[in-house]
Structure 1
Amino acid sequence: MKGKFEHIRGARCYVATPTVDYPRDKVVLFLTDAFGLSLPNNQLLADDFARNGFKTIIPDILNGDDAPADLFEPNRTVRVD
Structure 2
Amino acid sequence: MLTTGARRLSRVSVSPRPRMRNYTLGNMPPPPAVNIRTHDMISPQERKFLEAAERGDKPTLQECLLTREGETPLNVNCLDSMGRSALE
For normalisation by structure 1, the TM-score amounts to 0.26
Flag the structure with more relative contact order, 1 or 2, with Cα contacts below 8 A and sequence separation at least 6.
Answer: 1
Larger Rg: 2
Could you say which structure has the higher helix fraction?
Answer: 2
